[in-house]
Amino acid sequence: MKMNRLHRWYCRSGPWKQKLENEILPWSLRGVDLGNDVLEVGPGPGLTTDWLRHRYKSLNCIEVDRELAHSLGQRTANSNVRVQCADATAMPYRDGTFSGAVSFTMLHHVPSSALQNRLFAEVYRVLGPGGVFAGTDSMRSLLMRIFHVRDTMVLVDPATLPGRLETIGFKDVKVETGAGRFRFFARRPSEMP
């Protein structure tokens, strides 16, 4: 994952924090029950983590960038947040660990569709029966191209995302587009008795 200086600055900025807290996060999780043990995939500097940690009993974050993971871990020490620096395409968690998983505006930073699919498969693996995977990502625009000059940007096509998630085993997949972004929801089926 590569992020240029402008992009890193914006992802920590006050305007982005306001947009996340007032628009993106409430929209993406409207009507979604993630349970008590939530995994956040790719929190970056942790603006999304700050919003989530007050809403869930236990929040685990997996971040591939060592500097961002260290900074977020220090900032959230002695709270309900645990941060691990690791690759989300090969997660260090046991099968069925979490009741829910989220990913906000980071999937396009995963450098290939094949690696995105591995990330989806890992989320599926670490979710318990009936566990929910939800989040958002950005769609193609001029602003996206500007922010991603010399950045990793492999956009997820919202039209093909349901099929990709269903191939892995997710059910009840829903994708809804909004202003420059889409939100998604998928559920790991409950195990048969």
pLDDT of residue 193: 41
Per-residue b/e over 92-114, b at no fewer than 16 CB within 10 Å? ebeeebbbbbbbbbbbbbbeeee
Give the pLDDT of residue 123: 98
What letter represents residue 90's amino acid? A
Instruction: Examine the pLDDT at 141 and tell me if it is beyond 60.
Output: no
Is 13 a residue whose pLDDT tops 90?
Answer: no
DSSP assignment of 92-117 equals -S-TT-EEEEEEES-GGGSSSHHHHH
The domains found in the chain, sorted by start residue, are 5-10+34-155+168-187 (3.40.50.150)
Question: In this predicted model, which residue has the larger pLDDT, 145 or 75?
Answer: 75
Distance CA 12, CA 123 (A): 26
Between the alpha carbon of residue 86 and those of residues 31, 90, 92, 93, the distances in Å are: 30, 8, 7, 10
pLDDT greater than 70 at residue 12: no
- Which of 12-16, 28-32, 115-119 has the lowest average pLDDT? 12-16
- In this prediction, residue 21 carries a pLDDT of 85
Residue 60 has pLDDT above 70, yes or no: yes
Task: Compute the distance between CA of residue 44 and CA of residue 24 in angstroms, rounded to an integer.
Answer: 16
Residue 139, Cβ neighbours under 10 Å: how many?
16
pLDDT of the residue at 147: 57
Q: Is the pLDDT of residue 102 over 70?
A: yes
- The mean pLDDT value of the chain amounts to 89
At 178, is the secondary structure helix, strand, or coil? coil
pTM score = 0.89
What does the pLDDT read at residue 140?
64
**Rounded average pLDDT over 80-88:** 97
With cut-offs at 50, 70 and 90, classify the pLDDT of residue 150: low
User: Region 61-69: what's the mean pLDDT?
Assistant: 95
Cβ–Cβ under 8 Å, residues 93 and 126 = yes
